[in-house]
Chains A and B, each alone.
Chain A
Amino acid sequence: MTAITFNGVTKSFAKHPGRLLLRDRIAHLLKPDRKERFFALKNVSFRVEKGEGLAVVGPNGAGKSTLLSLVAGLARPDSGTVSSNGRIAALLELGSGFHPDLTGTENVRVNAALLGLSRKKTNDLFDSIVEFSGIADFINEPLRTYSSGMVMRLAFSVAINSDPDILLIDEVLAVGDQAFQTKCFDKLRQCRREGKSLLCVSHAAGMVQELADHAIWLDHGELMLAGSLRDVVAAYEGSRIDASLRP
Protein backbone atom coordinates (compact mmCIF):
# COMPACT_ATOMS: atom_id res chain seq x y z
CA MET A 1 0.00 0.00 0.00
CA THR A 2 1.13 3.52 -0.70
CA ALA A 3 1.41 5.93 2.21
CA ILE A 4 2.04 9.13 0.27
CA THR A 5 1.61 9.83 -3.43
CA PHE A 6 2.74 12.99 -5.19
CA ASN A 7 1.66 13.17 -8.77
CA GLY A 8 3.02 16.00 -10.94
CA VAL A 9 2.71 18.52 -8.13
CA THR A 10 3.35 22.18 -8.81
CA LYS A 11 3.07 24.83 -6.12
CA SER A 12 3.71 28.52 -6.53
CA PHE A 13 3.37 31.58 -4.35
CA ALA A 14 2.76 35.20 -5.30
CA LYS A 15 6.13 36.89 -5.29
CA HIS A 16 4.85 40.04 -3.62
CA PRO A 17 2.44 38.90 -0.97
CA GLY A 18 2.24 42.53 0.09
CA ARG A 19 -1.24 43.35 -1.21
CA LEU A 20 -2.86 42.88 2.16
CA LEU A 21 -4.33 46.30 2.81
CA LEU A 22 -7.54 47.64 1.37
CA ARG A 23 -5.67 50.42 -0.43
CA ASP A 24 -3.53 47.90 -2.31
CA ARG A 25 -6.54 45.76 -3.13
CA ILE A 26 -8.36 48.72 -4.69
CA ALA A 27 -5.27 49.83 -6.59
CA HIS A 28 -4.96 46.30 -7.90
CA LEU A 29 -8.58 46.23 -9.04
CA LEU A 30 -8.20 49.50 -10.92
CA LYS A 31 -4.92 48.60 -12.53
CA PRO A 32 -4.26 44.87 -12.56
CA ASP A 33 -0.62 43.95 -12.98
CA ARG A 34 0.59 40.53 -13.89
CA LYS A 35 1.52 38.78 -10.71
CA GLU A 36 5.00 37.40 -10.70
CA ARG A 37 5.03 33.98 -9.13
CA PHE A 38 7.65 32.05 -7.32
CA PHE A 39 7.62 28.33 -7.99
CA ALA A 40 8.40 26.37 -4.84
CA LEU A 41 7.77 23.01 -6.52
CA LYS A 42 7.73 22.24 -10.23
CA ASN A 43 6.05 19.08 -11.45
CA VAL A 44 7.31 16.84 -8.66
CA SER A 45 6.24 13.19 -8.47
CA PHE A 46 7.22 10.51 -5.98
CA ARG A 47 5.70 7.88 -3.73
CA VAL A 48 6.33 6.61 -0.25
CA GLU A 49 5.22 3.02 0.32
CA LYS A 50 3.83 2.02 3.67
CA GLY A 51 6.64 1.35 6.12
CA GLU A 52 9.18 3.10 3.94
CA GLY A 53 11.44 5.95 4.96
CA LEU A 54 12.08 8.71 2.47
CA ALA A 55 14.53 11.53 2.96
CA VAL A 56 14.25 14.82 1.10
CA VAL A 57 17.58 16.54 0.66
CA GLY A 58 18.44 19.83 -0.94
CA PRO A 59 19.78 23.30 -0.20
CA ASN A 60 17.80 26.06 1.51
CA GLY A 61 14.88 27.25 -0.59
CA ALA A 62 14.68 24.03 -2.56
CA GLY A 63 11.01 23.51 -1.67
CA LYS A 64 11.48 20.91 1.04
CA SER A 65 9.25 22.53 3.64
CA THR A 66 6.59 23.35 1.07
CA LEU A 67 6.58 19.68 0.15
CA LEU A 68 5.93 18.70 3.76
CA SER A 69 3.13 21.28 4.10
CA LEU A 70 1.46 19.78 1.05
CA VAL A 71 1.68 16.27 2.46
CA ALA A 72 0.24 17.48 5.77
CA GLY A 73 -2.68 19.07 3.91
CA LEU A 74 -1.81 22.57 5.10
CA ALA A 75 -1.39 23.95 1.61
CA ARG A 76 -2.96 22.97 -1.70
CA PRO A 77 -1.05 22.35 -4.92
CA ASP A 78 -1.64 24.55 -7.99
CA SER A 79 -1.77 21.45 -10.12
CA GLY A 80 -1.15 17.75 -9.66
CA THR A 81 -2.43 15.61 -6.81
CA VAL A 82 -1.26 14.81 -3.31
CA SER A 83 -2.76 11.90 -1.44
CA SER A 84 -1.95 10.07 1.75
CA ASN A 85 -3.19 7.02 3.66
CA GLY A 86 -3.13 6.97 7.42
CA ARG A 87 -2.91 9.36 10.31
CA ILE A 88 -0.18 11.93 9.90
CA ALA A 89 1.87 13.54 12.65
CA ALA A 90 3.57 16.62 11.29
CA LEU A 91 6.63 17.63 13.27
CA LEU A 92 7.10 20.73 11.18
CA GLU A 93 7.93 23.26 13.80
CA LEU A 94 8.14 21.84 17.27
CA GLY A 95 5.97 23.61 19.77
CA SER A 96 3.60 25.42 17.34
CA GLY A 97 0.64 25.82 19.64
CA PHE A 98 2.72 25.92 22.81
CA HIS A 99 2.13 28.97 24.95
CA PRO A 100 4.73 30.40 27.36
CA ASP A 101 2.23 31.20 30.11
CA LEU A 102 0.86 27.69 30.35
CA THR A 103 2.54 24.98 32.39
CA GLY A 104 4.22 21.98 30.78
CA THR A 105 1.22 19.80 31.66
CA GLU A 106 -1.27 22.19 30.09
CA ASN A 107 0.81 22.56 26.95
CA VAL A 108 1.17 18.80 26.59
CA ARG A 109 -2.59 18.36 26.76
CA VAL A 110 -3.40 21.07 24.23
CA ASN A 111 -0.70 19.88 21.87
CA ALA A 112 -1.80 16.26 22.12
CA ALA A 113 -5.31 17.33 21.13
CA LEU A 114 -3.94 19.31 18.18
CA LEU A 115 -1.95 16.29 17.05
CA GLY A 116 -5.13 14.24 16.98
CA LEU A 117 -4.98 12.31 20.24
CA SER A 118 -8.29 11.61 21.93
CA ARG A 119 -8.97 12.68 25.49
CA LYS A 120 -8.57 9.11 26.74
CA LYS A 121 -5.38 8.49 24.76
CA THR A 122 -3.92 11.71 26.11
CA ASN A 123 -4.59 10.65 29.68
CA ASP A 124 -3.15 7.19 29.03
CA LEU A 125 -0.03 8.48 27.33
CA PHE A 126 0.58 11.47 29.58
CA ASP A 127 3.04 9.75 31.88
CA SER A 128 5.08 8.23 29.08
CA ILE A 129 5.23 11.60 27.30
CA VAL A 130 6.57 13.31 30.40
CA GLU A 131 8.95 10.47 31.13
CA PHE A 132 10.34 10.51 27.60
CA SER A 133 10.92 14.26 27.74
CA GLY A 134 13.00 13.83 30.91
CA ILE A 135 11.75 17.06 32.48
CA ALA A 136 9.24 15.68 34.96
CA ASP A 137 10.58 17.98 37.68
CA PHE A 138 9.51 21.08 35.79
CA ILE A 139 6.28 19.85 34.27
CA ASN A 140 4.09 22.06 36.44
CA GLU A 141 6.12 25.21 35.84
CA PRO A 142 5.12 27.74 33.17
CA LEU A 143 6.80 27.12 29.84
CA ARG A 144 8.50 30.52 29.84
CA THR A 145 10.80 29.31 32.63
CA TYR A 146 12.07 26.47 30.40
CA SER A 147 15.25 26.61 28.39
CA SER A 148 14.70 26.31 24.63
CA GLY A 149 16.15 22.80 24.74
CA MET A 150 13.57 21.78 27.33
CA VAL A 151 10.71 23.17 25.21
CA MET A 152 11.93 21.19 22.21
CA ARG A 153 12.22 18.03 24.30
CA LEU A 154 8.66 18.35 25.48
CA ALA A 155 7.32 19.11 22.01
CA PHE A 156 9.14 16.19 20.47
CA SER A 157 7.90 13.83 23.18
CA VAL A 158 4.27 14.73 22.53
CA ALA A 159 4.64 14.36 18.78
CA ILE A 160 6.54 11.08 18.80
CA ASN A 161 4.19 9.52 21.34
CA SER A 162 1.06 10.43 19.38
CA ASP A 163 1.34 7.12 17.51
CA PRO A 164 0.87 8.24 13.90
CA ASP A 165 0.97 6.09 10.76
CA ILE A 166 3.03 8.62 8.86
CA LEU A 167 5.66 10.85 10.43
CA LEU A 168 6.68 14.10 8.76
CA ILE A 169 9.84 15.59 10.16
CA ASP A 170 11.31 18.94 9.22
CA GLU A 171 14.83 19.45 10.49
CA VAL A 172 13.64 18.88 14.01
CA LEU A 173 16.19 16.31 15.00
CA ALA A 174 18.56 18.93 16.27
CA VAL A 175 16.70 18.58 19.54
CA GLY A 176 18.23 18.89 22.96
CA ASP A 177 21.60 17.55 23.99
CA GLN A 178 23.46 14.54 22.64
CA ALA A 179 21.80 12.10 25.03
CA PHE A 180 18.31 13.24 24.08
CA GLN A 181 19.13 13.18 20.38
CA THR A 182 20.22 9.59 20.69
CA LYS A 183 16.97 8.83 22.47
CA CYS A 184 14.99 10.48 19.65
CA PHE A 185 16.84 8.50 16.99
CA ASP A 186 16.22 5.27 18.87
CA LYS A 187 12.54 6.10 19.09
CA LEU A 188 12.36 6.94 15.38
CA ARG A 189 14.13 3.70 14.47
CA GLN A 190 11.64 1.85 16.62
CA CYS A 191 8.80 3.57 14.71
CA ARG A 192 10.34 2.38 11.46
CA ARG A 193 10.51 -1.19 12.78
CA GLU A 194 6.83 -0.95 13.73
CA GLY A 195 6.07 -0.34 10.06
CA LYS A 196 5.46 3.39 10.16
CA SER A 197 6.19 5.52 7.15
CA LEU A 198 8.55 8.39 7.50
CA LEU A 199 9.21 11.45 5.42
CA CYS A 200 12.02 13.62 6.65
CA VAL A 201 13.70 16.70 5.38
CA SER A 202 17.25 17.75 5.95
CA HIS A 203 19.95 19.80 4.38
CA ALA A 204 22.43 17.82 6.45
CA ALA A 205 22.36 14.44 4.77
CA GLY A 206 24.17 12.68 7.60
CA MET A 207 21.25 13.14 9.97
CA VAL A 208 18.85 11.08 7.91
CA GLN A 209 21.23 8.27 7.04
CA GLU A 210 19.85 5.77 9.50
CA LEU A 211 16.18 6.62 9.14
CA ALA A 212 15.51 6.46 5.43
CA ASP A 213 16.00 3.88 2.68
CA HIS A 214 15.25 6.14 -0.25
CA ALA A 215 15.81 9.78 -0.97
CA ILE A 216 14.86 12.51 -3.36
CA TRP A 217 16.99 15.53 -4.12
CA LEU A 218 15.24 18.83 -4.70
CA ASP A 219 16.82 21.97 -6.06
CA HIS A 220 14.89 25.16 -6.82
CA GLY A 221 11.66 23.21 -6.79
CA GLU A 222 12.81 20.61 -9.27
CA LEU A 223 13.27 16.95 -8.62
CA MET A 224 16.93 16.37 -9.50
CA LEU A 225 17.25 12.72 -8.58
CA ALA A 226 15.32 9.96 -6.85
CA GLY A 227 16.70 6.63 -5.76
CA SER A 228 18.40 4.84 -2.93
CA LEU A 229 19.55 7.04 -0.09
CA ARG A 230 23.21 6.33 -0.71
CA ASP A 231 23.14 7.27 -4.40
CA VAL A 232 21.08 10.40 -3.97
CA VAL A 233 23.09 11.69 -1.02
CA ALA A 234 26.33 11.01 -2.87
CA ALA A 235 25.11 12.92 -5.93
CA TYR A 236 23.80 15.79 -3.79
CA GLU A 237 27.00 16.14 -1.78
CA GLY A 238 29.04 15.82 -4.94
CA SER A 239 27.17 18.72 -6.48
CA ARG A 240 27.82 20.85 -3.44
CA ILE A 241 31.52 20.14 -3.57
CA ASP A 242 31.52 20.98 -7.29
CA ALA A 243 29.75 24.22 -6.54
CA SER A 244 32.18 25.19 -3.81
CA LEU A 245 35.18 24.44 -6.03
CA ARG A 246 33.88 26.58 -8.85
CA PRO A 247 35.64 29.94 -8.92
Chain B
Amino acid sequence: MKHQYSFVVSGLVQKDFKIRYRNMSLGMFWSLLNPLVMMGVLTFVWTKIFVNNSIPHFPVFVLCGLVPYNFFTLAWATGTVSIVENAGLIKRVPIPREIIPVTGVLSNCIHLLIQIGLLLALLLAFVGGPNRHWVWLPFIWGMEVIFVCGLSMITAAVNVFVRDTRYVVESANLILMWLVPIFYPFDIIPAAYRDVYQFNALAALVMAMRNILLENRAPASSLLINLTMSSLVMLGVGLLVFRQLSTRFYDHL
Protein backbone atom coordinates (compact mmCIF):
# COMPACT_ATOMS: atom_id res chain seq x y z
CA MET B 1 0.00 0.00 0.00
CA LYS B 2 2.79 2.37 0.94
CA HIS B 3 4.69 1.42 -2.21
CA GLN B 4 1.61 2.06 -4.26
CA TYR B 5 1.28 5.50 -2.72
CA SER B 6 4.83 6.42 -3.64
CA PHE B 7 4.45 4.97 -7.14
CA VAL B 8 1.40 7.12 -7.80
CA VAL B 9 3.02 10.26 -6.37
CA SER B 10 6.26 9.75 -8.28
CA GLY B 11 4.32 9.04 -11.47
CA LEU B 12 2.28 12.24 -11.11
CA VAL B 13 5.30 14.35 -10.15
CA GLN B 14 7.25 13.08 -13.15
CA LYS B 15 4.24 13.83 -15.31
CA ASP B 16 4.05 17.45 -14.08
CA PHE B 17 7.76 17.87 -14.48
CA LYS B 18 7.86 16.50 -18.03
CA ILE B 19 4.91 18.62 -19.10
CA ARG B 20 6.41 21.77 -17.66
CA TYR B 21 9.85 21.43 -19.16
CA ARG B 22 8.88 19.89 -22.48
CA ASN B 23 7.00 23.03 -23.42
CA MET B 24 9.89 25.38 -22.68
CA SER B 25 12.51 25.78 -25.35
CA LEU B 26 15.07 26.83 -22.76
CA GLY B 27 14.07 24.07 -20.35
CA MET B 28 15.76 24.26 -16.98
CA PHE B 29 17.36 27.56 -17.83
CA TRP B 30 14.09 29.23 -16.82
CA SER B 31 14.51 27.90 -13.31
CA LEU B 32 17.79 29.79 -13.10
CA LEU B 33 16.79 32.96 -14.89
CA ASN B 34 14.07 34.14 -12.49
CA PRO B 35 16.17 34.10 -9.30
CA LEU B 36 19.17 35.58 -11.12
CA VAL B 37 17.14 38.51 -12.45
CA MET B 38 15.47 39.12 -9.08
CA MET B 39 18.84 38.92 -7.37
CA GLY B 40 20.25 41.49 -9.79
CA VAL B 41 17.34 43.89 -9.37
CA LEU B 42 17.24 43.70 -5.58
CA THR B 43 21.02 44.11 -5.38
CA PHE B 44 20.81 47.17 -7.60
CA VAL B 45 18.06 48.75 -5.49
CA TRP B 46 19.67 48.07 -2.12
CA THR B 47 23.27 48.84 -2.99
CA LYS B 48 22.89 51.67 -5.50
CA ILE B 49 19.61 53.45 -4.67
CA PHE B 50 19.05 52.85 -0.96
CA VAL B 51 22.74 52.47 -0.29
CA ASN B 52 23.34 50.02 2.50
CA ASN B 53 26.83 48.61 2.66
CA SER B 54 26.49 46.94 6.05
CA ILE B 55 25.74 43.58 4.49
CA PRO B 56 28.66 41.78 2.85
CA HIS B 57 28.02 39.64 -0.24
CA PHE B 58 24.66 41.26 -0.80
CA PRO B 59 23.74 39.22 -3.94
CA VAL B 60 24.27 35.91 -2.17
CA PHE B 61 22.53 37.27 0.93
CA VAL B 62 19.48 38.12 -1.18
CA LEU B 63 19.53 34.77 -2.95
CA CYS B 64 19.45 32.99 0.43
CA GLY B 65 16.07 34.63 0.90
CA LEU B 66 14.82 34.39 -2.69
CA VAL B 67 15.32 30.67 -3.20
CA PRO B 68 13.12 29.60 -0.26
CA TYR B 69 10.64 32.36 -1.06
CA ASN B 70 10.34 31.28 -4.70
CA PHE B 71 9.77 27.70 -3.76
CA PHE B 72 7.27 28.54 -1.04
CA THR B 73 5.12 30.85 -3.16
CA LEU B 74 5.18 28.66 -6.26
CA ALA B 75 4.49 25.45 -4.36
CA TRP B 76 1.69 27.02 -2.33
CA ALA B 77 0.04 28.49 -5.42
CA THR B 78 0.31 25.18 -7.32
CA GLY B 79 -0.96 23.22 -4.34
CA THR B 80 -3.92 25.56 -3.86
CA VAL B 81 -5.32 25.15 -7.36
CA SER B 82 -4.42 21.46 -7.62
CA ILE B 83 -7.79 20.00 -6.65
CA VAL B 84 -9.86 22.25 -8.89
CA GLU B 85 -7.47 21.78 -11.82
CA ASN B 86 -7.47 18.02 -11.39
CA ALA B 87 -11.25 17.77 -11.10
CA GLY B 88 -11.14 15.04 -13.75
CA LEU B 89 -9.04 12.84 -11.50
CA ILE B 90 -11.00 13.64 -8.37
CA LYS B 91 -14.33 12.81 -9.99
CA ARG B 92 -13.28 9.81 -12.05
CA VAL B 93 -10.32 8.03 -10.48
CA PRO B 94 -10.50 6.55 -6.99
CA ILE B 95 -7.14 7.51 -5.47
CA PRO B 96 -6.49 8.99 -2.03
CA ARG B 97 -7.19 12.68 -2.55
CA GLU B 98 -4.30 13.93 -0.41
CA ILE B 99 -2.03 12.79 -3.22
CA ILE B 100 -3.11 15.65 -5.45
CA PRO B 101 -2.00 18.70 -3.40
CA VAL B 102 1.11 16.85 -2.23
CA THR B 103 1.99 16.19 -5.87
CA GLY B 104 1.41 19.86 -6.66
CA VAL B 105 3.94 20.84 -4.00
CA LEU B 106 6.47 18.14 -4.81
CA SER B 107 6.49 18.87 -8.52
CA ASN B 108 8.13 22.19 -7.63
CA CYS B 109 10.96 20.45 -5.80
CA ILE B 110 13.00 19.87 -8.94
CA HIS B 111 12.78 23.58 -9.58
CA LEU B 112 13.92 24.09 -5.99
CA LEU B 113 16.88 21.72 -6.34
CA ILE B 114 18.09 23.58 -9.41
CA GLN B 115 17.89 26.88 -7.52
CA ILE B 116 19.67 25.44 -4.48
CA GLY B 117 22.38 24.29 -6.88
CA LEU B 118 22.68 27.86 -8.17
CA LEU B 119 22.83 29.27 -4.65
CA LEU B 120 25.51 26.84 -3.52
CA ALA B 121 27.54 27.46 -6.69
CA LEU B 122 27.51 31.24 -6.13
CA LEU B 123 28.32 30.69 -2.48
CA LEU B 124 31.37 28.58 -3.29
CA ALA B 125 32.50 31.06 -5.92
CA PHE B 126 32.15 34.29 -3.90
CA VAL B 127 31.92 33.54 -0.19
CA GLY B 128 33.76 30.38 0.72
CA GLY B 129 33.79 26.62 0.96
CA PRO B 130 31.32 24.34 2.70
CA ASN B 131 31.23 24.00 6.48
CA ARG B 132 30.05 21.18 8.72
CA HIS B 133 26.75 22.95 9.43
CA TRP B 134 25.61 22.21 5.88
CA VAL B 135 24.32 18.89 7.21
CA TRP B 136 21.35 20.87 8.57
CA LEU B 137 20.27 21.97 5.09
CA PRO B 138 18.31 18.83 4.10
CA PHE B 139 16.49 18.93 7.42
CA ILE B 140 15.36 22.54 7.22
CA TRP B 141 14.34 22.14 3.59
CA GLY B 142 12.39 19.02 4.47
CA MET B 143 10.54 21.02 7.12
CA GLU B 144 9.64 23.68 4.60
CA VAL B 145 8.24 21.06 2.20
CA ILE B 146 6.16 19.60 5.04
CA PHE B 147 4.90 23.05 6.00
CA VAL B 148 3.83 23.90 2.44
CA CYS B 149 2.13 20.51 2.04
CA GLY B 150 0.03 21.14 5.15
CA LEU B 151 -0.80 24.70 4.15
CA SER B 152 -1.67 23.69 0.58
CA MET B 153 -4.04 20.97 1.77
CA ILE B 154 -6.05 23.58 3.64
CA THR B 155 -6.17 26.12 0.82
CA ALA B 156 -6.70 23.47 -1.88
CA ALA B 157 -9.72 22.09 -0.02
CA VAL B 158 -11.18 25.53 0.72
CA ASN B 159 -10.61 26.54 -2.91
CA VAL B 160 -13.12 23.89 -4.00
CA PHE B 161 -15.88 25.61 -2.03
CA VAL B 162 -14.78 29.24 -2.35
CA ARG B 163 -13.02 29.71 -5.65
CA ASP B 164 -11.53 33.08 -4.69
CA THR B 165 -9.12 31.35 -2.38
CA ARG B 166 -6.47 31.19 -5.05
CA TYR B 167 -6.46 34.98 -5.38
CA VAL B 168 -6.14 35.37 -1.62
CA VAL B 169 -3.11 33.08 -1.80
CA GLU B 170 -1.60 35.12 -4.62
CA SER B 171 -1.98 38.32 -2.59
CA ALA B 172 -0.56 36.68 0.51
CA ASN B 173 2.47 35.64 -1.53
CA LEU B 174 3.08 39.24 -2.59
CA ILE B 175 2.83 40.42 1.01
CA LEU B 176 5.28 37.73 2.11
CA MET B 177 7.94 39.22 -0.14
CA TRP B 178 8.04 42.10 2.36
CA LEU B 179 7.32 40.25 5.59
CA VAL B 180 10.03 37.66 5.12
CA PRO B 181 13.59 38.91 5.67
CA ILE B 182 14.62 38.52 2.04
CA PHE B 183 16.41 41.80 1.36
CA TYR B 184 16.89 42.87 4.98
CA PRO B 185 18.56 41.01 7.84
CA PHE B 186 16.65 39.61 10.76
CA ASP B 187 18.72 41.70 13.23
CA ILE B 188 17.15 45.00 12.24
CA ILE B 189 13.62 43.83 13.06
CA PRO B 190 12.48 45.52 16.30
CA ALA B 191 12.62 43.10 19.23
CA ALA B 192 8.86 43.25 19.76
CA TYR B 193 8.17 41.53 16.42
CA ARG B 194 10.96 38.98 16.41
CA ASP B 195 9.11 36.17 18.14
CA VAL B 196 6.32 36.32 15.62
CA TYR B 197 8.83 35.94 12.80
CA GLN B 198 10.11 32.70 14.24
CA PHE B 199 6.73 31.05 13.79
CA ASN B 200 6.62 32.01 10.17
CA ALA B 201 8.19 28.85 8.79
CA LEU B 202 9.41 30.68 5.71
CA ALA B 203 11.13 33.43 7.73
CA ALA B 204 12.60 30.81 10.05
CA LEU B 205 13.98 28.95 7.06
CA VAL B 206 15.61 32.05 5.59
CA MET B 207 17.19 32.83 8.95
CA ALA B 208 18.46 29.29 9.36
CA MET B 209 19.90 29.33 5.82
CA ARG B 210 21.83 32.51 6.51
CA ASN B 211 23.12 31.14 9.81
CA ILE B 212 24.46 28.11 8.03
CA LEU B 213 25.65 29.50 4.73
CA LEU B 214 26.83 33.03 5.54
CA GLU B 215 27.58 33.03 9.26
CA ASN B 216 29.17 29.58 9.50
CA ARG B 217 27.13 28.52 12.49
CA ALA B 218 24.36 26.08 13.32
CA PRO B 219 20.89 27.63 13.66
CA ALA B 220 19.79 28.29 17.24
CA SER B 221 18.04 25.29 18.71
CA SER B 222 14.98 27.41 19.58
CA LEU B 223 14.70 28.33 15.89
CA LEU B 224 14.95 24.70 14.81
CA ILE B 225 12.36 23.62 17.35
CA ASN B 226 9.96 26.35 16.26
CA LEU B 227 10.45 25.45 12.61
CA THR B 228 9.86 21.76 13.29
CA MET B 229 6.84 22.32 15.50
CA SER B 230 5.12 24.77 13.18
CA SER B 231 5.71 22.47 10.18
CA LEU B 232 4.35 19.37 11.90
CA VAL B 233 1.37 21.23 13.34
CA MET B 234 0.60 22.67 9.91
CA LEU B 235 0.73 19.20 8.34
CA GLY B 236 -1.54 17.76 11.04
CA VAL B 237 -4.09 20.56 10.74
CA GLY B 238 -3.87 20.37 6.95
CA LEU B 239 -4.64 16.66 6.91
CA LEU B 240 -7.55 17.08 9.32
CA VAL B 241 -9.15 19.91 7.37
CA PHE B 242 -8.53 18.20 4.04
CA ARG B 243 -9.98 14.84 5.10
CA GLN B 244 -13.01 16.60 6.52
CA LEU B 245 -13.72 18.63 3.40
CA SER B 246 -12.71 16.04 0.80
CA THR B 247 -15.84 13.96 1.39
CA ARG B 248 -17.80 16.71 -0.35
CA PHE B 249 -15.42 17.42 -3.25
CA TYR B 250 -17.37 15.32 -5.72
CA ASP B 251 -20.54 17.37 -5.23
CA HIS B 252 -18.80 20.69 -5.74
CA LEU B 253 -16.49 20.07 -8.68
Q: Which residues of A contact B (CB under 8 A)?
A: 13-14, 17, 20-22, 25, 69, 72-76, 88, 90, 92-93, 96-97, 99, 101-102, 106, 109-110, 113-116, 118-119, 122
Asked whether A20 lies within 8 Å of B162 as measured between CB atoms, the reply is: yes
Q: Does B8 contact A (CB under 8 A)?
A: yes
Interface residues of B in 108-133 (CB under 8 A from A): none
Asked whether A113 lies within 8 Å of B162 as measured between CB atoms, the reply is: no
Main secondary structure of the interface of B (DSSP, over half): helix
Distance between B137 CB and nearest chain A CB, rounded to angstroms: 30
Asked whether A73 lies within 8 Å of B15 as measured between CB atoms, the reply is: no
Asked whether A97 lies within 8 Å of B89 as measured between CB atoms, the reply is: yes
Q: Does B22 contact A (CB under 8 A)?
A: yes
Asked whether A92 lies within 8 Å of B92 as measured between CB atoms, the reply is: yes
> Which one of A69, A73, A113 has the greatest number of beta carbons of chain B within 10 Å?
A113
Question: Number of contacts between A and B (CB, 8 Å)?
Answer: 81
Asked whether A21 lies within 8 Å of B164 as measured between CB atoms, the reply is: yes
Q: B252's contact among A20, A92, A96, A115, by CB below 8 Å, is which?
A: A20
Q: Which residues of B contact A (CB under 8 A)?
A: 3-4, 7-8, 11-12, 14-15, 18-19, 22-23, 88-95, 161-164, 247-248, 250-252
Main secondary structure of the interface of A (DSSP, over half): loop
Asked whether B247 lies within 8 Å of A76 as measured between CB atoms, the reply is: yes
| B90: chain A residues within 8 A (beta carbon) | 74
| A69: chain B residues within 8 A (beta carbon) | 91, 250
Known: A93-B88, A96-B93. A21 touches B7 (CB 8 A): no
CA distance A96 to B19 in the complex (A): 16
| B250: chain A residues within 8 A (beta carbon) | 69, 74-76
Asked whether B94 lies within 8 Å of A110 as measured between CB atoms, the reply is: no
Interface pairs A-B: 5 shortest CB-CB: A96-B92, A75-B250, A113-B11, A22-B164, A110-B11
Asked whether B19 lies within 8 Å of A101 as measured between CB atoms, the reply is: yes
Known: A110-B11, A110-B12. A90 touches B92 (CB 8 A): yes
| B88: chain A residues within 8 A (beta carbon) | 93, 96-97
By beta carbon, the residue of chain A nearest B4 is: A118
Asked whether A13 lies within 8 Å of B164 as measured between CB atoms, the reply is: no
CA distance A110 to B17 in the complex (A): 13
Known: A20-B252, A101-B22. A113 touches B94 (CB 8 A): no
Asked whether A13 lies within 8 Å of B162 as measured between CB atoms, the reply is: no
Known: A69-B250, A119-B3. A74 touches B164 (CB 8 A): no
Asked whether A118 lies within 8 Å of B7 as measured between CB atoms, the reply is: yes
CA distance A110 to B7 in the complex (A): 9
Asked whether A101 lies within 8 Å of B23 as measured between CB atoms, the reply is: yes
CA distance A97 to B139 in the complex (A): 33
By beta carbon, the residue of chain B nearest A76 is: B247
